[in-house]
Copies of this chain bind each other. A is one copy, B any other.
Amino acid sequence: MSALLTDYLGECRDLVQIEIRDIVPKDRYGPILYDLMLDYPLRSAKGLRPAICIATCRALGGRLEDVLRSAAVLELYHNAFLIHDDIEDGSLMRRGFPTLHREHGVPIAINVGDAMLALTLRPLLDNMRLLGLGKALRILDAVARMALESAEGQALELDWVRHGRWELRDADYWHLVYKKTCWYTFIAPMMIGGIVNGAPPERLRQLRRLAIYLGVSFQIQDDVLNLTADEGAYGKEIGGDLWEGKHTLILMHTMRSLGAVERAEAERILAIPQAEKSEPGVRWLRGLIDREGSLTYARGVAERAARKADRVLTNATAWLPPSVHRDFLKELVDYVIVRDR
C-alpha cells in the first residue's frame, strides 16, 4: 500500500473511531452490550468505507466536519453487518481474531448487531441540524437503500448456497456483487460524500459508476485473496469460501469449465455443510481451480473493471480538481487489485 493510502486511511480511521466512541454509550450496559460494539471496529481494519465517504466529500470541496458523523455511521453499519454476516456464514475468524459469535455466543452477537443498527438512527437525524433537512433526508434514504440492497444481496447468496445453484453466468455474479458489496462498501459511501456536498444528480451518477466498477474489482480480489493470501496478513481463514461453498467468480468459472462428471462431484462436495466437509474434498476443488485457470480469469475481470473505474475518475477531472482526496481515490483504484489483504 502506498504511503498516501496508508496515511489517509490511518487519519480517517482515527477520526472515525473518536466519532464511534462518541456515538456508542458508555454506561452500565457497557460490559454486556456497548463494549462489544467496539470490538470489531477496534480490531485493525482498513476503515475503507468511511475513508471513501470522507475522500469523496472533500474531493468535491466539502468540509470534513460535515461528513464525519455520516462516515462513522457507515463504519458502524459495516461492523453490524459483519457480526451478522459472520454468524450467517459460520465464519471463524475476523481481522485476525475469533468472530464475535464464537467469543460471546450467537444470541449475544445477534443482539449486539441489532443494537448497533438502532444506534445509527440518531446521528443520522443529527444531520438535520448540521446539513439541513434536504441533505439529511437524502442521506437517510441512501442508508435505508443500502441496508435493503445488502439484505437482498445476502438473501440471493444464501439462496444460491442453500439450493446449490451453479447454473450461473458472470452477469449473475455482477448482480450479486452490485447488491452485497458495491452498495455498502462503495456506492453509499460515495453517494453520501456527494450528497453532503450538494453534488448534482449527474455527478452522483458518475460517482455511482465509479463505485460499481471499484466494488466489482474489489470483491473479485477479495475472493482471490481468500484462496491465495497469507493467513496472518489476511485475518480470515484461507480457503474459507470453498469450505462455505461461496459463489465466487473464480469458482463459478471453474464449475462452468468442468465436464459433467467432475461437475457433479464438485457440486456434491460444495453442498456438504461446512462442519462436515473433508480436507481432501476441498483440496480437490482447489486443484480444479488452478487447473482451469480460474484465478487468472478472475484477475483479468477484476483488472478490466478497475481500468473502467480509472477511466471514470480520469474523465471526472473537470469537477474533481487536484487534491490529496482525489489522489486517494485514484490510488485506491490501483490498490484494489494489487492488495494482499
Whether, in the assembled complex, A211 has its beta carbon less than 8 Å from a beta carbon of chain B, the answer is: no
Q: Does A137 contact B (CB under 8 A)?
A: yes
Of A32, A141, A143, most B-chain CB atoms within 10 Å: A32
A162 → chain B, closest Cβ, in Å?
7
Q: Are the C-beta atoms of B107 and A158 separated by less than 8 Å?
A: yes
Which candidate, A84-92, A213-221, A223-231, A330-338, is the interface stretch facing chain B?
Answer: A84-92
**Within the assembled complex, what's the spacing in Å between the Cα atoms of A154 and B109?**
11
Residue of B nearest to A77 (CB): B118
What 1/0 mask marks residues of chain A from 59 to 77 whose CB sits below 8 Å from any chain B CB? 0000000000000000000
**Which residues of B lie under 8 Å from residue A140 when comparing CB positions?**
121, 125
Interfacial residues of chain A within 142-179, with CB under 8 A of chain B in the complex: 143-144, 147-148, 151-152, 154-156, 158-159, 162
Secondary structure call for the A interface: helix
Contacts A111-B158, A117-B114 given; does A152 touch B33 at CB 8 Å:
yes
**CB-based contact B107/A147 at 8 Å:** no
- A312 at interface, CB cutoff 8 A: no
The 8 Å CB contact of A108, one of B121, B137, B144, B158, is B158
Residues on the B chain within 8 Å of A110, using CB: 84, 87-88, 110
B-chain residues with CB within 8 Å of residue A128 when the two chains form the complex: 137
A48 beta carbon closer than 8 Å to chain B: no
Does A151 contact B118, Cβ atoms closer than 8 Å? yes
Q: A121-B140, A141-B122, A155-B29 are in contact. Are A87 and B114 (CB under 8 A)?
A: no
For the complex, count residues of A whose C-beta is within 8 A of B: 40
Establish whether residues B155 and A111, one from each chain, have CB atoms under 8 Å apart when the complex forms.
Answer: yes
The smallest C-beta distance from A108 to any residue of chain B, in angstroms, reads 5
Instruction: Give the nearest-CB partner of A90 in chain B.
Output: B107
Q: Indicate the member of A114, A119, A122, A156 with the most B CB atoms within 10 Å.
A: A114
CB closest chain-B residue, reference A105: B162
Q: Which residues of B contact A118 (CB under 8 A)?
A: 117, 144, 147-148, 151
Q: Which single residue of chain B is at the shortest CB-CB distance from A154?
A: B111
Given known contacts A121-B143, A125-B140, is B29 in contact with A152 (CB within 8 Å)? yes
- Cβ of A106 < 8 Å from any Cβ of B? yes
Can you offer 12 A-B residue contacts whose CB atoms are under 8 A? A84-B110, A87-B106, A88-B107, A89-B107, A105-B162, A106-B106, A110-B110, A111-B151, A114-B117, A115-B151, A121-B121, A128-B137
Given contacts A84-B110, A105-B162, 9 further A-B pairs with CB under 8 A are A32-B156, A107-B158, A108-B158, A108-B162, A111-B158, A114-B117, A115-B152, A115-B155, A119-B148
Kindly list the 8 A-B residue pairs having the minimum CB-CB distance in the complex, ordered from nearest: A118-B147, A115-B151, A88-B107, A33-B155, A121-B144, A32-B159, A32-B155, A111-B154
